[in-house]
Structure 1
Amino acid sequence: MSHPERLSTSGGEPVATIAEPPRLNGSGSSESLATFAARHGLTQSSARPPLRQYVQDVWNRRNFIWSFASAKTSSMYTSSRLGQVWQVLTPLLNVGVYYLIFGVLLNTKRGVTDFMPFLVTGVFIFTFTQRSLQAGAKSVSANLSLIRALHFPRASLPFAYVIVELQQLLISMVVLFGIIFAFGERPSLQMLLIVPMLALQLCFNMGLSLALARVGAFTPDVQQLLPFIMRTWLYASGVIFFLPSLAHRLEQHHWLLELLKANPGSVYVELARTSLLASYRDDLHRIHWGDDHLWWYAIFWAVAAMIVGFWYFQRAEERYGRG
């Protein structure tokens, strides 16, 4: 006797459980349950939908994604006495450590007029990417019970986790603006460029988080390795040192300098600094250092990461949550 099979409509919603025996066709042989279901327009509830439909399904869940992210944000740090304050304290404490070790002891602040705004901007912007990727890598594996209980596009989870980090960043930006204004920066129209920059960085973070969510779902060890990768990426992205200071050291390896400039971690950090810090723009102008390709790099990384990451994640849609 065939076992019951859960079926759904083409939209993915379960509508029936067929427990009746297979029907006989005209030749007297039994008709398979799959053929019977296909003849009546039914499909498996766990089947991967076409890419176009999948995009539409994710868009239709946008309210769920935002609500899920808001609930996660509200529940963060509830067990600690300072609560959400830790979201600001953590990058500030990192800034203090980096300033002491790299700014004072190793003197990496050479060439930078106002090193503190330079450092704070770099740490806050890079932390947005760092936390997004680390959260995205565990977004599927940490929600297996939700995946197994409800039918929804699994890409909603990495998206929601990145939105959580965006909400946290917006809180941190209040502190960031307070610090740069305290060091003499003045409001200007140039600062409005931070909005499209963050939009591009958000797309980049989402795309890479989708890819890491698939990897993390089937290879949990990547979550242990990721902090080391992110720390190395931070050191290579000019977060704690003045990138032009490497120019004379890499004269024989010009390609390596260009690679560091095209590095997406560096691209978004540099765009944030040139948007917010007039003193930093003056430092670059003084040494005749400029890169007209920064915005093109930012657009390329955002679009490429989103397209490839979304496609890569969607290819394994029916496998998430299976034991």
Structure 2
Amino acid sequence: MASFAGASSTISTINVQRPLPRSPKLLKFTNVIPVVTSRPVRVKHPPICCTKLTPWEPSPAKHAPAEDAGYDFLQKTTNIFETLGSENTAEAEAPLASAQTEEVTADASNQPLAELQFLKWPMWLLGPSLLLSTGMVPTLWLPISSIYLGPNIASLLSLIGLDCIFNLGATLFLLMADSCARPKRLTQSCNSKPPFSYQFWNMVANVTGFIIPVLLLFGSQKGFVQPQLSFIPCAVLLGPYLLLLSVQVLTELLTWHWQSPVWLVTPVVYESYRVLQLMRGLKLGAELSAPAWMMHTIRGLVCWWVLILGMQLMRVAWFAGFTTRARKQQYSSASADG
């Protein structure tokens, strides 16, 4: 843009004299040229705006902010002191907030921790006592004559009721054992997954113990096994056994699915009771005058489950040694890193 302003013009009075002749006649006449003097007049010229610069006028300097990531903090606010102050305050408050959060979390985790530990102490005595009272006491001290009244439906239901009482106690015992096996801190996860080989051979043992008596009962009903045994005596002798074995398989599948730490204890609990259950079947078979093949079948099942129970106890010992070795390796690696 260029603006032009006109300067004020001033007309002054100028007297111009001509040279006079020396003659006296001419002295009386002087030729004076009058010049009119006027007041100064100021003319206001309107400014002329143009977008093009003249060649002699320098171009104005333009300062554009560089697009740099380092100056992004200035774009947050128009006040640089406000921006720097807010960032410094946030940086200063960040460690304090994290420290306060950790303290609050630690306090919140420690408060239920003591309560849970206090509640877990009676479980170490309550769980085994419950298992003993629901499983062993009715089988060992309750007379068979008060339960078994003959080869009929009432006797079958009475025997199934005893096994259901044991199953209830075993379930409560496993829940208490799972609670005691959990870590002390609630934030820590405890997922214990059994190996595939353990699952496979355990299912093989259960299926074998289920199929063999079922095949013998089917052969007795079809006349392939002699002498034949009617359905009610067969159900009294092997019905509760087959039912409790099915419950054990379901419980083990649930512990594997939930990755509960009691997956190693579950078969030991049920198989220990199964031995007593089959021994009770031997007593009932003598009262029923069961054929020899049935008595041999029950004795074979007792031997089979004692063998499987011994293998389960060996797995418990192996797992204890494996845990000890893993813990030693963890300590050695931690000391080497430190």
* TM-score category (smaller protein): under 0.3
Q: Which has the higher contact order (CA 8 A, sep 6+)?
A: 1
TM-score, normalization by structure 1: 0.25
